[in-house]
A and B are shown apart, each in its own frame.
Chain A
Amino acid sequence: MSPHDSHAPRAAEAAARRSYGKLIAFLAARTHDVAGAEDALSEAFAAALADWPLHGVPRTPEAWLLTVARRKSADALRQRRLDDAAAEQLLILSDLTIDDNEMTTELPDRRLGLLFACAHPGIDRDVRAPLMLQVVLGFDAATIASAFLVAPTTMGQRLSRAKAKIRQAGIGFDVPERAALRERLDAVLDAIYAAYAEGWSDPQGADARRRNLADEAIWLGRLVASLLPDEGEALGLLSLMLHAHARRDARRNPAGDYVPLGEQDPAQWDAAMIDEAETLLSQANRCGDVGRYQLEAAVQSAHAVRRRRVASDWAAIEQLYDALCALTGSPVAALNRAVALAETRGPAAGLAALDALANDARLADYQPYWAARADLLARSGDAVAAMQAYRQAIGLESDPAVRQFLQQRAAQLSAGST
């Protein structure tokens, strides 16, 4: 590389993207000090941005960053009073020496362990996904706060508390043993899916950072699936996210209006992504135990058949939601089951199933419940009740395009009934 390399800032950024989580995982694996590793690494990146444009990008940027970060961590520790704990940390750090051979080879990948630490039962459920986004991908607290609709200072505090917990409780970066793996893996997958869902809720990509979030969640999903290729649920989650992501452009027409799934043009779906999702799902099915994500991916697969100009397989979808309800007891699964019932047995059957959920407080403020109710009431001919349900759905919706769609549906209904 030549000196005064103008590509250096970009090389630092690329190295950051590629290696951030790996470097954090490596630095913090034994000290448990994630926040300290982040500080050291951010100093190392600053040093790289100053150094690389002058001296060229090193042959192994990752190793360069790691060496500087380790030195910064050690400096930071020395500046504090050298108590026993600090002395021990210094010892661990000096242990993390990378010899010249390692400089040229790949770092050991401890990111999976880092993901398991982030989704540890000792970490609050709500902060697991934000924590992963920060420590594995390097998102800042403000961006994460916007995505999860939390005040930035609050998100910063929650993340700091979680990192303090990892350090103080000595939460390990180990991948759990077989017996505990399934349960712990569910928490990892749930957090990844939570990140995806937050990204998905910005279909226009109006907020570039949020659209990025869905992509990043898929990236995490790929990472876990590649590191645990025999875990059906890890493959199932990736399949589910890819199925949903394949339809992202079809959710808006050229005018920017919302297009519901049933009215989307399958030709606009990303065929290659659906193919990959289908392959993953059949791999997952060969792994044995069926879980939530495989079932949900199978639902998406039953919609994806529309690519071949056949209708969604509602009978299969109903059965899949039956299984999901039995497995998870989730009110959202029950809601989707009711929608499927309306397709297989008519709106009255769907409405009866919705009525059974009417007292579930978890659905009272859930827009899709009211939108589904409005639709089924309208299809049953009860325009007055349908209008009321539409108003509730409109009042609960935050996406302006979806809100407008619901308003148009309601307007059509009132025009038809007068």
Chain B
Amino acid sequence: MEYMLLVYSDPSHFEKLSPSQAAEGMAAYGAYREALQKAGVLRSANRLRPTPTATTVRLKSGKTEVLNGPYAETREQLGGYFLIDVPDLDVALSWAARCPGASHGVVEVRPIWQMGES
């Protein structure tokens, strides 16, 4: 089963860190990613640039509407994701708990809805 681990955290958390703490935080993510790779469960992973860089598009009454900023303004923002392939939700949760994001934010675990699956 494929699961998306969505990492939500408060961007200001990182701004408050000293350079060495920030480096340590990044290194923890790097090590986590490597552990996922080594376990053979990682499909893909990416970090997202902060929400001020977001642009939101939708079609309203047939006209496109383009807005600056993210879809939802919340304190905790989607900062990145890990797509993993593991046998079941229990295993997905054990990986989510190891994600550094679980201690400075939250990790939402969502099963992938495969095309054609009801």
Contact = CB atoms under 8 A, between A and B. Distances in A.
Pairing of A with B: yes
Contacts of A392: 31, 34-35, 38
B24 A407 contact: yes
B94 interface: yes
A199 to B, nearest CB: 15
A336 B36 CA distance: 25
A391 B33 CA distance: 10
B22 interface: no
A395 B24 contact: no
Interface residues of B, number: 22
Nearest to A394: B31
Contacts of A404: 24
B102 to A, nearest CB: 7
A102 interface: no
B39 A394 contact: no
Contact of A395 (B35, B90, B103): B35
A151 B94 CA distance: 11
B89 A403 contact: no
A179 interface: no
A407 B27 contact: yes
Contact of A396 (B30, B90, B98, B103): B98
A154 B35 contact: no
B1 interface: no
Interface string A396-410: 111010011001000
A407 B94 CA distance: 21
Contact of A403 (B28, B34, B36, B38): B28
B23 to A, nearest CB: 9
A391 B89 contact: no
Given A154-B89, A403-B100, A394 B28 contact: yes
A128 to B, nearest CB: 16
Contacts of B24: 404, 407
Interface string A326-351: 00000000000000000000000000
Contacts of B90: 149-150, 154
B97 interface: yes
A266 B27 CA distance: 33
A403 B28 CA distance: 8
Nearest to A154: B89
A400 B33 CA distance: 16
Contacts of B94: 149
Nearest to B36: A395
B20 to A, nearest CB: 9
A400 B13 CA distance: 15
B10 to A, nearest CB: 15
A342 B94 CA distance: 30
A170 B29 CA distance: 50
A287 interface: no
Interface string B74-98: 0000000000000001100110011
A364 B35 CA distance: 10
A398 B28 contact: no
A365 interface: yes
A400 B36 contact: no
Nearest to A145: B93
Contacts of B32: 394-395
Contacts of B102: 398
A395 B38 CA distance: 10
B89 A151 contact: yes
Given A364-B39, A392-B34, A407-B27, A398 B89 contact: no
Contacts of A395: 28, 30-36, 38, 98
Contacts of A400: 100, 103-104
Contact of A391 (B31, B39, B93): B31
B21 to A, nearest CB: 9
A151 B92 CA distance: 10
Nearest to B38: A392
20 contacts: A149-B94, A150-B93, A154-B89, A154-B90, A364-B38, A364-B39, A365-B35, A391-B30, A392-B31, A392-B38, A394-B27, A394-B31, A394-B32, A394-B35, A395-B31, A395-B32, A395-B35, A395-B38, A398-B103, A400-B100
